[in-house]
Structure 1
């Protein structure tokens, strides 16, 4: 079976070629590259010397197929180029590679069928697990993956019955409301997208709930997309609907950037006239042009939790599903007025 590349003939160097050069059996080559296998030190040294000379590389794909596992872990996502999603993919990829996995990124469309197609594709490639950063697999696909022993892990999804990792959206919304309240604000608003994800919806609902409980009637504006343009459009609608808010909570940083630019173009001073808080703490939030106060999610902490859940699930496939919540941190910059 082909295992590495032969520079002379453009083919992969086989384990048999290494065995012939080292003067050992084919099985000795296999043992030399199998952790914990029994092999004499002298034989091991000859095999490694021959492998280095030929440029031999172990064929992990072939080994995975023989063991009915590929070491692939699927990362299913949409909007893979958005700042926080890109950070999350990078952190997960790093954590999985350190674990010995090969991350396979599948960028999907918005429909349930897109998610199901991604699940089927990863099953066909015998992926060790699938991590959903966007969307959620339909129940039929959940059952199919269970029958095939493939763990599914959700990030910031509200569905039950599957392992999941969540940021504490409610606590983040409370921190945002309290920070805005301390400015002396009285006209609160929150912007979101229409048909939001469970996480974005939870942030909006929690913030509005805290405002109502404190005696305020918050304005809520929902637009088509939770991106920069969506933030601009939401801010435009807010200003067109009545008096400008003096405290604005945006469910993510991208919407906050768009809102900030529109508010400033409309002649409002941030934070003197209106304080603004985002969510995620993507790198752009620290740029001089924004200096956005926001809630920080830590992608590396999320990735670490995903790997821990994956290890537990593989060790005990029948264990009850777990939901891990991690805190978010208010990062104070320059878009919130000083406390009164």
Structure 2
């Protein structure tokens, strides 16, 4: 593979190699006539500046790593898309690394990014080990976390507790008394926070919560959780689901296998507001995490850290808003 070189542009334009370099260096001194000849030659040849080489010379690049596990699934897919767009607007080059959550896998991803002199790393999955943060600090690489809290790193989190408490209060105010929570065994810190806050609020009002888990935080997990709740005999009249994918599985089992009506027999509330939540087959009432807002907040923290490496850790919290559809309509609230 042979890319067009700056030397070829210089020969076509009839100028020196350094003139080509100055033309494509912001703020460098070059005459208007020379600039015009260089740009014309570059256009004819299809030349583009070698940003990778510049990054090596400057010991940094415009690369920003996005480290995620299963970035194609659920809300994370939309957050990943929003992050790439926000980084491109900033002038960065996003690099997605699909990895696992073990310390070895996380460190392998980080070493790859540091080896390519990535400017920063944004983590969407798993809590990074201390060795990850230590290596980033020693290399001066900013790390931003989304969806989890680490005292040694900048992070953006959803208001999981606030939304879960609101879900409990709204269901109880609607007269629902047999409440359940559908979660997963492989829960992220965010999902665990939702479960803890929901259960605590319901118990605070003197009621108990049935808890059912599937393996992973996806549709199959919702199917397993719903079947477990139906098997207990004393079925719930309301289920708060850790995310929308779980809610979809719960709803399909309640209707197809339980013969139940939603929300007449069982109210269902989700979390995330992925696009499928508005599909006619679901019409899911849920708490909306806006991926565009979450992504921009993460980029803002990144820019803050780059501008001031010694600043205190930035902690941002975005409280989700309830989107009311057909699966549960609180009193005095209009569904969308």
- Decide: shared fold, TM above 0.5: yes
Residue correspondence of structure 1 range 185-224 to structure 2 within 5 A? 185-224=176-215
1:144 maps to which of 112, 135, 147? 135
SS in 1 for 2:200: helix
1:160 maps to which of 151, 154, 168? 151
CA distance in 1, matches of 2:164, 2:213: 17
1:117 maps to which of 108, 111, 115? 108
TM-score when normalising by structure 2? 0.96
Mark the runs of 5 or more structure 2 residues left unpaired by the alignment. Answer: none
1:127 maps to which of 94, 107, 118? 118
1:42 maps to which of 33, 36, 44? 33
1:291 maps to which of 274, 283, 305? 283
Instruction: String of CA shifts for 1:186-235, please: whole Å, max 9, x gaps.
Output: 10110111142110000000011110111111111122111101101001
Residue correspondence of structure 1 range 270-281 to structure 2 within 5 A? 270-281=262-273
**Map of 2:92 onto structure 1:** 101
CA offset at residue 116 of structure 1?
1.6
CA offset at residue 81 of structure 1?
1.5
CA offset at residue 100 of structure 1?
1.0
2:245 maps to which of 254, 260, 275? 254
SS in 2 for 1:116: helix
User: Given the alignment of the two structures, is residue 243 of structure 1 paired with residue 234 of structure 2, yes or no?
Assistant: yes
1:169 maps to which of 131, 138, 160? 160
SS in 1 for 2:4: strand
SS in 2 for 1:279: strand
CA distance in 2, matches of 1:12, 1:212: 66
1:330 maps to which of 310, 316, 322? 322
Q: Assess if the C-alpha contact under 8 Å between 2:214 and 2:220 holds in 1.
A: no
SS in 2 for 1:75: strand
CA offset at residue 114 of structure 1?
1.3
SS in 1 for 2:3: strand
User: Given the alignment of the two structures, is residue 19 of structure 1 paired with residue 2 of structure 2, yes or no?
Assistant: no
Per mean C-alpha deviation after superposition, the further-off stretch among 10-19 and 96-105 is 10-19
Residue correspondence of structure 1 range 62-101 to structure 2 within 5 A? 62-101=53-92
TM-score when normalising by structure 1? 0.95
User: Given the alignment of the two structures, is residue 304 of structure 1 paired with residue 296 of structure 2, yes or no?
Assistant: yes
CA offset at residue 179 of structure 1?
2.5
SS in 1 for 2:283: coil
Moved over 3 A (4+): none
Q: Assess if the C-alpha contact under 8 Å between 2:66 and 2:122 holds in 1.
A: yes
Mark the runs of 5 or more structure 1 residues left unpaired by the alignment. Answer: 1-9
Instruction: String of CA shifts for 1:116-148, please: whole Å, max 9, x gaps.
Output: 211111111111111100012211121111111
CA distance in 2, matches of 1:285, 1:48: 50
SS in 2 for 1:189: strand
Number of equivalenced pairs: 331
CA distance in 1, matches of 2:103, 2:271: 26
Q: Assess if the C-alpha contact under 8 Å between 1:158 and 1:199 holds in 2.
A: no
CA distance in 2, matches of 1:208, 1:235: 18
